[in-house]
């Protein structure tokens, strides 16, 4: 082997050379998460709604907005009050989908259930 061929063999080929990473590379933006609210399913019974309402209010959420005089008291229906409490429980549980089950009495919805002066918390991303 000649000296010239040794030098050629010692040089890396362009195919094996590593190019340095550039600092101008931009990471792709994360896709925005879709907003969801936890609401009762249409076919649940009053007993299921009451159990869901009781569970949510007994586990650390503020149910005062659905008490008389609260911003979400009207309409004074079990369905409306349960919807508010179920959603607040879901939102305060870190929007974990498993926290919107309520023994299969609830579902996630992309439609904001807020109405009149009653704003359902969460949903924003």
For residue 2, tell me if it sits in a domain.
no
**Residue 22 falls within a domain, yes or no?**
no
pTM for this predicted structure: 0.72
Note whether residue 75 is domain-resident: yes
Domain count, the chain: 1
Tens of pLDDT, residue by residue over 63-101, are 999 999 999 999 999 999 999 999 999 999 999 999 999
What would the mean pLDDT of 3-25 be, rounded to a whole number?
A: 46
Residue 118, strand partner residues = 115
Spell 1-24 as b/e; 16+ CB within 10 A means b. eeeeeeeeeeeeeeeeeeeeeeee
Q: How confident is the model at residue 11 (pLDDT cuts 50, 70, 90)?
A: very low
Judged against a pLDDT cut of 50, whether residue 43 lies above it is answered with yes
- The predicted pLDDT at position 27 comes to 52
């Amino acid at each position: 082997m000649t000296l010239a061929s040794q030098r050629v063999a010692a040089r890396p080929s362009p195919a094996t050379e590593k190019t340095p990473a550039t600092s101008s590379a931009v990471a792709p933006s994360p896709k925005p998460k879709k907003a969801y609210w936890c609401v009762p399913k249409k076919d649940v019974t009053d007993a299921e709604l009451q159990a869901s309402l009781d569970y949510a209010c007994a586990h650390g959420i503020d149910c005062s907005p659905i008490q008389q005089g609260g911003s979400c008291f009207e309409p004074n229906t079990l369905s409306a009050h349960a919807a508010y409490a179920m959603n607040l429980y879901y939102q305060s549980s870190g929007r974990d989908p498993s926290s919107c089950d309520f023994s299969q009495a609830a579902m996630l919805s992309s439609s904001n259930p807020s109405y009149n002066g009653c704003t359902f918390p969460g949903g924003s991303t």
